[in-house]
Structure 1
Amino acid sequence: MTEGVGFNYKVPSADKVPEIYDDAMLEMSDFFQNIAKELGEDEFIREQSIQQLREWIAKHPHIKRCRTDAPFLLRFLRAKKYSFINAAKTLESFLTARTKHRQWFNNFDIDDPALADLVDTSYLFPLPRLDSKGRVVFFICSSKFNPAKHTIISPIQLIHMMGEIYYETQEISCAGCVWIFDMEKTDKRVLGMITVQDIRTLTDLVNTAAAARIKELHFINTPAVFRTIANLILQLMSEKIRSRVFCHPSLEDLHSKMDKSLLPKEFGGELPMAELTANYKKLCRKMRPRLLAMNDMEIELVDNPNDIWTNYSGRLEDGAIGSFRKLQVD
């Protein structure tokens, strides 16, 4: 469990028009309140924007079930710096992704043998403290993925599961996150387990449906065979994400860019991966009911040429989002 992060274990409702809206939020320190202000947030804007998103959800003809609790909606508003149109667009894409790609976005269950086994290997875990900018740092050891034992679905699920645990906490929805990928000794058979179309779809999801403030992506020990794939992925990413990618030729170079003490002991830090993994697994278990409740959200998939999911160049004036353009918050 990461120090400095306040987790909410309550299971939220997926009723798109509940009798009483859930406005409960954990308090933030002055440090994170100042970050929120930099995103354009104050008490009035926050309350007005949450209300506008709730009205949009209630009137959306294709959204069947969706959370409307304040922490969930703030995740989208803060990620888009309180642009209502962009927040609504991302929420619609998020729901579409969950409905269209259930194999990647549903059943985040630490009791699932495949997911539990991969977590136990220390495939991914959060680092013990927030960094100096208040961001959570996630660490992935790609070599822990065994193609003979795991399907490619499991690591994709686990990455999204990590996000669902952290992205709507007050601290991380404001300050964002950092990802570190250790690519050393990654099994080459992984390349045969994922198609080019899968890569395109996953990068589209990051570009359009990730309600997260992804601040930095660090790669270390990347074998030459994976650099071609990495370059393809980077070409598909948004320019903003590409500008936040750092490829390190050595562990020492990573140390020059990041607080060394945060890292696992095996990478020059203080706490061993086994301890960080055990703490993370306890958090996954505490969050399990909340994570499984994500399965309840759903949007009707429609064949609409102006739908932002199938036509990103479509005019925002068209469709459900366009009808709420007047609610734009500058």
Structure 2
Amino acid sequence: MYECFLEIAYEAELNTKEDPELLAAASEICNENPATRATAITELRKMIFERGQCKPHRTDDAFLLRYLRARNFIVPRAHKLLVRYCSFREENEHLYKGVDLWSLMKVNDAYEGIMFDRPDVGRLSIFRFGTWDPSEFPVEDLVRAGMAMTEIGIRQPKLQVLGGSVIVDMEGLTLRHISTLTPTVAYQIVSLMGVSMPARMKTCHIINYSWLLNTFFYLFKKFIPQQAWDKIFFHGSDLKSLHQHIDPECLPPRYGGTCRNHGSFRKWLQKIKQYRDEQFDREMKALGYDVKE
């Protein structure tokens, strides 16, 4: 039964259509008003051309809507986010330009997704960098996978509205891992978690850490915006503390939860490849990815 539900969830990852239930949630979560939505999109598009601070590869309604939803339909804030997104892409072309999208399956368990989205948690993503062997592939591939995962995720209207939560599980993290995390890599990871992407991050939870946390977090904290600090929680190995923020119904058994609709980044990307359509290939190629058959 769980496999059946999971398969349906994977197939739905490529759904870019909106439904009445989603629009009702968008009104409550994103301050989206169907009566004024088109006006806000037009205003954002006008701001892009008048200010000339960025040259996005797209300016169609569906694309601009992502930025408005991510910033509660406050047009100047949405524009500021779009400028950051364009700047990030210009500064980090190596993270996507000519990257073989399917080759990123090598990342495997370093990212894990819970295919059980709901308004209070959104999409739950789990970072398990301790499962990564630095001798197999460079840290840049972890960032490339994170960027591809975000770009694919924000195509889906449901995730634009619901956003997501993140668990950073530091179990297995060693000095060998930490040594690969340069300030540049830390900046890139923070940018992908919502600073430079139209993604709504609800909360971030740090678990299973040791004294290495000080070194790990020192690299990241200077890139984290002040307003994001109230969304970051430290739980150590206390699962009860984690459960106060994330319902065990949304967590895999590893964290004392009951959710079995979860899978590795490898499996998720395999399913994206299986269910993708021409529109998906077209959009990902426009972003710079190499999408092979």
Per the alignment, residue 262 of structure 1 pairs with 250
Per the alignment, residue 105 of structure 2 pairs with 116
C-alpha distance in 2 between matches for 1:135 and 1:206? 14
Contact 1:40 1:82 in 2 (8 A): yes
Contact 1:4 1:130 in 2 (8 A): no
Alignment of 1:238-257 (within 5 A): 238-250=225-237, 251-257=239-245
Give aligned-pair identity as a percent.
20
The counterpart of 1:29, out of the listed 1, 14, 21, is 21
How far has the Cα of 1:58 moved from its partner?
5.0
Per the alignment, residue 85 of structure 1 pairs with 76
How far has the Cα of 1:57 moved from its partner?
4.2
Per the alignment, residue 3 of structure 2 pairs with none
How far has the Cα of 1:55 moved from its partner?
3.4
Change in Cα spacing, 1:276 to 1:235, as seen in structure 2 (3 Å) is: closer
Change in Cα spacing, 1:135 to 1:275, as seen in structure 2 (3 Å) is: closer
TM-score by length of structure 2 reads: 0.80
The DSSP-based 3-state class of the residue aligned with 1:29 is helix
How far has the Cα of 1:83 moved from its partner?
1.7
How far has the Cα of 1:207 moved from its partner?
6.9
Alignment of 1:276-315 (within 5 A): 277=265, 279-285=267-273, 286-287=275-276, 289=281, 290-295=283-288
Change in Cα spacing, 1:294 to 1:142, as seen in structure 2 (3 Å) is: same
Contact 1:180 1:219 in 2 (8 A): yes
Change in Cα spacing, 1:108 to 1:44, as seen in structure 2 (3 Å) is: farther
The counterpart of 1:39, out of the listed 17, 30, 38, is 30
Contact 2:29 2:161 in 1 (8 A): no
Change in Cα spacing, 1:295 to 1:59, as seen in structure 2 (3 Å) is: farther
How far has the Cα of 1:71 moved from its partner?
2.8
Change in Cα spacing, 1:257 to 1:201, as seen in structure 2 (3 Å) is: closer
Q: What is the one-letter code of the residue matched to 1:29?
A: E
Alignment of 1:183-262 (within 5 A): 183-200=170-187, 202-203=189-190, 208-250=195-237, 251-262=239-250
Change in Cα spacing, 1:262 to 1:5, as seen in structure 2 (3 Å) is: farther
C-alpha distance in 2 between matches for 1:8 and 1:60? 33
Give the stretch that moved more between structures: 186-195 or 57-66. Answer: 57-66
How far has the Cα of 1:271 moved from its partner?
5.8
Per the alignment, residue 179 of structure 1 pairs with 166
How far has the Cα of 1:270 moved from its partner?
4.4
1:75 and 2:66 matched = yes
C-alpha distance in 1 between matches for 2:99 and 2:261? 22
1:153 and 2:145 matched = no
Count of paired positions: 277
C-alpha distance in 1 between matches for 2:267 and 2:136? 24
Give the stretch that moved more between structures: 283-292 or 201-210. Answer: 201-210
CA RMSD, Structure 1 to Structure 2 (Å): 3.1
C-alpha distance in 1 between matches for 2:76 and 2:230? 24
C-alpha distance in 1 between matches for 2:263 and 2:56? 38
C-alpha distance in 2 between matches for 1:219 and 1:34? 28
How far has the Cα of 1:200 moved from its partner?
4.4
How far has the Cα of 1:152 moved from its partner?
0.9
TM-score by length of structure 1 reads: 0.72
Structure 1 or 2: larger helix share?
2
Work out which of the two has the higher radius of gyration on C-alpha atoms and give 1 or 2. Answer: 1
Q: What is the one-letter code of the residue matched to 1:116?
A: M
- The runs of 5 or more residues in structure 1 that have no matched partner are 11-24, 297-330
